[in-house]
Chain A
Amino acid sequence: MELVGSFALLLAFCLCAYAVVAALLAARAHRPLLLESAERATVAVNGLLLVATGCLVALLFANDFRIAYVAQHSNRALPGFYKFAALWGGQEGSLLWWSCLLSIYIMLAVRLNRRTHRLLMPFVIAVAMSVQLFFLLVNNFAAHPFQLLAFTEGGRTSVFTPADGGGLNPLLQHPAMVIHPPMLYLGYVGFTIPFAFAMAALLTRSKGEQWIHVTRRWTMITWGFLTIGILLGARWAYAVLGWGGYWGWDPVENASLMPWLTGTAFLHSVMMQEKRGMLKVWNMALVFATFFLCIFGTFLTRSGVLSSVHAFAQSPIGPYFATFIVIGLVASTAVLLSRLDFLKSENQLDSLLSRESSFLFNNLILLASCFAVLWGTLFPLISEAVRGVQITVAAPYFNKVNVPIALFLLFLTGVGPLLAWRRTSVESLHRNFTRPLLVGAAVAAVSFVLGVRKIYPIMTVFLGIFVVATIAMEFHRGARVLRQKSNWGWLAATVALTKRNTRRYGGYIIHFGIAVLFIGISGSAFSVEQQAEMQIGSETTVGGYRFICRDLKMSETENHVSAAAEVEVYRGGRLLTKLYPERRLYKASQQPTTLVAIRPRLQEDIYVVFTGMTDDGQRAVMQIFINPLVNWVWIGGFIVVLGTLIALVPSAPPESFVLQARARRAAAEKERDAVPV
């Protein structure tokens, strides 16, 4: 089995190299058959990688501990569900998974666009397959997933098969962890496609804005996956790690946020190019930056460079990634510079009060945020290189910079979409914003009266509600116009409106989701946390809730040993719920992990963590958190994803509505005529 897998990987590598060369030759000599051959090579590479991945999964399920990867990341007692997740539980497997997903993306991109973008295709294949080639290089020569466990003794190498594996990291044994990495990877990997199209457009000096539509679409798809991936990661951190929050500005989290920020910037600024022919160079730069940040994110999380600059040289894949990033950056910058003449802006900024300027500010601060995150993440490396001492910065730094940025973004989210292109009149400002501002201010005032006294949360509520109000007004306005022309109800009119311009109204729904999400985040300013030592019968009060410990018991399964408590939660005299926080020690890996007990509610979560036993072994130490509004983060995220899906559906052209209506009317008339009088 491992031979099949290894062979498939090697063959994929060769075919991939062939695809790059064939595509380039096809472009140069204009040979359609060669191009077709290159296109087929992408399919073959995809098939081979699916085989290789399938082999690794089969080996995991077969408990074949001769294979180093299986021995290190799985064990016999591991449930099947998580054996599959072990595929991305470690370095070699996750890089193979990266390759596999990339090959799927490339195959689809080629399939779907080969007719419409005939001229771009050779370069799209060449660029995308070069990236694939790099990953296959790593798969084959730096992080081979089918390595056997072997030791050398007196010049003779023998294969060693342990009785059982080391087991999957228990933190990863959670349902969200089965789906989070694939989503995040789909986000990371997918940015290769926009990158390939952008490069191809530059290389061919492709006229027209056609390529930008295709790039935007692929960017939206991968952006959607990245968003889901980040949110699932946050959700997993909240439900599993047991520190009461969901975002800690951890380097790995930052690595996923950075391409999200530049990707978001691109999705906005690309409209400037479509509508006004501006920012062409900038958009290219954003596509490149997003792609390289994705690779860089993989590099950061995989190479161990963050623990120290020196660790990176020891990691087998660090140098590979560093070389690839440098070569890629140099090559793409060179291409960009050589095509500057072709990227001349067609227009200029007309007024500070215009859609253009709101996009510019949007981009400015998204990039500033990305840079701040990058700086903070790399600070230990920079300080080590410059001053010889590692200095780390903590979450307060990131919050300090990013909270004002987030508020300003929220403000732009409300204002930007309603400003006119070129310039906006004062009268339209008044018409568009007076009511939303009043609504926002009213809700902010109410929350102040209700006891919210911190400046940032109040501003978040004010701006968030303002955004929601502007969006509601836009939907209302559009639906009213439609209703005047037809006899639709409000709901039908809103749906029809959205269908007609999915991109615009999908975008509004995404904005709505972001506003909800930010309001959810602002709740974290009011989290309450308290530690309590409990034994059976003891009680404690946190945030207006009374907690009584009813039971403490130990139990054991094949996979783990656990200690669990039963805690009753009262408010006033009323029993609200029973919670069962638990602490497990996984046998194979000897790693402890906590199972957080959460009572989720829209207004606030009750979150109880069993952190351990006291030294005398008599009492359980509980960490109790009350987390207001947390669930709005997930709800907001859900709305964002929904909006992305809507925006991806092609708009139904209004003509078809008219035609349909006409046909319906004709049919109705026919029916009426047919009825004998």
Chain B
Amino acid sequence: MRSNRWKFILGSLIILGVLTWLGVTGIRETQTYYLTIAELQAQERLPERLRVAGDVVAGSIRREQGRVRFQLQQSENHLNVVYVGSEPLPDTFVDGAQAIVTGSLGRDHVFQAHQVQAKCASKYEAVPPGPTARPPDASN
């Protein structure tokens, strides 16, 4: 009777241990830091995956073969961004749009974005219950 209980507890601990390990490594592999532009520019050592939000500076969008360069603004701070992802940019990505870019900061202090999410500045309203629109890179 008693030994069964211990066997069960032992089994549970093994299962939970494995799952915890998977969870911890999973978080480590995908964690993305959400920083402000000021924090980004102030920090010396930056994590690998970053996410930054800001408004697209009007007139800053320049399209060059396969790449799109633009500038993000958050209060006083500006950040140069180059989009290197493969997905087409969303239609909502226009001058003045609020954008969230995910990627990393290059040595030249230009942000290399793999993914850009954008929403029109005025029309945004939280999507009602049920699954919301998600970034195109999400996979199953």
Taking beta carbons and an 8 Å cutoff, which residues of A are in contact with B?
A: 72, 88-91, 94, 166, 169, 171-172, 177, 180-181, 184-185, 233-234, 236-237, 241, 243, 245-250, 252-253, 298, 301-302, 304, 348-352, 357, 360-361, 364-365, 368, 372, 375-376, 379-380, 389-401, 404-405, 408, 521, 524, 527, 531, 585, 589-592, 611-612, 615, 621, 623
Closest chain A residue to B23, Cβ basis = A401
Within 8 Å CB of A349, what residues of B?
A: 1, 4-5, 8
Within 8 Å CB of A397, what residues of B?
A: 23, 26-27, 29-30
Within 8 Å CB of B42, what residues of A?
A: none
Within 8 Å CB of A89, what residues of B?
A: 128
Given contact pairs A94-B128, A348-B4, enumerate 7 new A-B contacts (beta carbons under 8 Å): A348-B5, A352-B8, A372-B19, A379-B27, A379-B31, A395-B138, A397-B26
Q: How far is the CB of B122 from chain A (nearest CB, A)?
A: 9
B134, A393: Cβ atoms closer than 8 Å: no
A348, B1: Cβ atoms closer than 8 Å: yes
Closest chain B residue to A300, Cβ basis = B129
Within 8 Å CB of A177, what residues of B?
A: 130
Q: How far is the CB of A145 from chain B (nearest CB, A)?
A: 14
Interface residue from A233, A396, A401 paired with B131 (Cβ < 8 Å): A233
- Does B38 have its Cβ within 8 Å of any Cβ on chain A? no
CB within 8 Å for A591 and B120 given contacts A361-B11, A364-B12:
yes
B15, A364: Cβ atoms closer than 8 Å: yes
The contact sample of 11 A-B pairs, CB cut-off 8 A, is: A171-B133, A177-B130, A304-B126, A350-B1, A352-B11, A372-B19, A375-B23, A391-B32, A396-B30, A524-B140, A531-B88
A400, B134: Cβ atoms closer than 8 Å: no
A250 and B138 CA atoms in complex are apart in Å by 9
A252, B33: Cβ atoms closer than 8 Å: no
Within 8 Å CB of B33, what residues of A?
A: 389-391
Among A368, A394, A621, max chain B CB count under 10 A is at A394
B130, A391: Cβ atoms closer than 8 Å: no
B8, A360: Cβ atoms closer than 8 Å: yes
- Chain B residues touching A, range: 35 or more
A391, B34: Cβ atoms closer than 8 Å: yes
What 0/1 pattern do residues 1 to 23 of B give for CB contact below 8 A with A? 10011011001100110110011
B130, A591: Cβ atoms closer than 8 Å: no
B123, A404: Cβ atoms closer than 8 Å: no
Within 8 Å CB of B106, what residues of A?
A: none
A91 and B128 CA atoms in complex are apart in Å by 7
Interface residue from B25, B35, B123, B128 paired with A88 (Cβ < 8 Å): B128
B8, A90: Cβ atoms closer than 8 Å: no
B123, A591: Cβ atoms closer than 8 Å: yes
CB within 8 Å for A400 and B15 given contacts A184-B130, A352-B8, A521-B140:
no
- Does B139 have its Cβ within 8 Å of any Cβ on chain A? yes
Q: How far is the CB of B41 from chain A (nearest CB, A)?
A: 15
Q: How far is the CB of B19 from chain A (nearest CB, A)?
A: 5
A94 and B129 CA atoms in complex are apart in Å by 8
A202 and B39 CA atoms in complex are apart in Å by 52
- Does B108 have its Cβ within 8 Å of any Cβ on chain A? no
Say whether chain A's binding surface is mostly helix, strand, loop, or mixed. Answer: helix
Within 8 Å CB of A611, what residues of B?
A: 87-88
A390, B129: Cβ atoms closer than 8 Å: no
A352 and B9 CA atoms in complex are apart in Å by 11
Closest chain B residue to A172, Cβ basis = B128
B28-75 residues at the A interface, CB under 8 angstroms:
29-35, 39, 51, 63
Q: In the A-B complex, list the 9 residue pairs whose CB atoms are closest, starting with the nearest.
A: A397-B26, A248-B138, A390-B34, A400-B26, A524-B140, A592-B91, A394-B30, A248-B134, A245-B140
Within 8 Å CB of B129, what residues of A?
A: 88, 94, 181, 184-185, 252, 298, 301-302
CB within 8 Å for A368 and B16 given contacts A88-B129, A352-B11, A396-B26:
yes
Within 8 Å CB of B136, what residues of A?
A: 243
Closest chain A residue to B86, Cβ basis = A531
A177 and B131 CA atoms in complex are apart in Å by 10
Within 8 Å CB of B22, what residues of A?
A: 400-401, 404
Q: How far is the CB of B1 from chain A (nearest CB, A)?
A: 6
B123, A590: Cβ atoms closer than 8 Å: yes
Within 8 Å CB of B77, what residues of A?
A: none
A73 and B1 CA atoms in complex are apart in Å by 62
CB within 8 Å for A169 and B127 given contacts A352-B8, A397-B23, A612-B88:
yes
Within 8 Å CB of B130, what residues of A?
A: 177, 180-181, 184, 233, 236, 252
B79-136 residues at the A interface, CB under 8 angstroms:
86-88, 91-92, 120, 123, 125-136
A389 and B39 CA atoms in complex are apart in Å by 10
A392, B32: Cβ atoms closer than 8 Å: yes
Q: How far is the CB of A71 from chain B (nearest CB, A)?
A: 12
Among A351, A357, A400, A408, max chain B CB count under 10 A is at A400
Within 8 Å CB of A351, what residues of B?
A: 4
A645 and B126 CA atoms in complex are apart in Å by 35
B35, A391: Cβ atoms closer than 8 Å: no
A237, B34: Cβ atoms closer than 8 Å: no
Q: How far is the CB of A304 from chain B (nearest CB, A)?
A: 6
Q: How far is the CB of B48 from chain A (nearest CB, A)?
A: 12
Within 8 Å CB of B140, what residues of A?
A: 245-248, 395, 399, 521, 524, 527
Among A72, A304, A372, A375, max chain B CB count under 10 A is at A372
A365, B15: Cβ atoms closer than 8 Å: yes
A612 and B87 CA atoms in complex are apart in Å by 11
A408 and B22 CA atoms in complex are apart in Å by 14
A592 and B15 CA atoms in complex are apart in Å by 46
B29, A396: Cβ atoms closer than 8 Å: yes
B19, A404: Cβ atoms closer than 8 Å: yes
Within 8 Å CB of A592, what residues of B?
A: 91-92
CB within 8 Å for A395 and B132 given contacts A368-B19, A404-B22, A612-B88:
no
A392, B51: Cβ atoms closer than 8 Å: yes
Within 8 Å CB of B15, what residues of A?
A: 361, 364-365, 368, 408
CB within 8 Å for A401 and B19 given contacts A88-B128, A301-B129, A349-B8:
yes
Within 8 Å CB of A372, what residues of B?
A: 19, 23
A372 and B25 CA atoms in complex are apart in Å by 13
Q: How far is the CB of B34 from chain A (nearest CB, A)?
A: 4
Among A249, A368, A398, A408, max chain B CB count under 10 A is at A368
A393, B19: Cβ atoms closer than 8 Å: no
Within 8 Å CB of A405, what residues of B?
A: 19
Q: How far is the CB of B44 from chain A (nearest CB, A)?
A: 15
A391, B31: Cβ atoms closer than 8 Å: yes
B125, A90: Cβ atoms closer than 8 Å: yes
Within 8 Å CB of A94, what residues of B?
A: 128-129
A368 and B15 CA atoms in complex are apart in Å by 9
Within 8 Å CB of A91, what residues of B?
A: 126, 128
Among A166, A169, A612, max chain B CB count under 10 A is at A169
A72, B27: Cβ atoms closer than 8 Å: no
A380 and B135 CA atoms in complex are apart in Å by 17
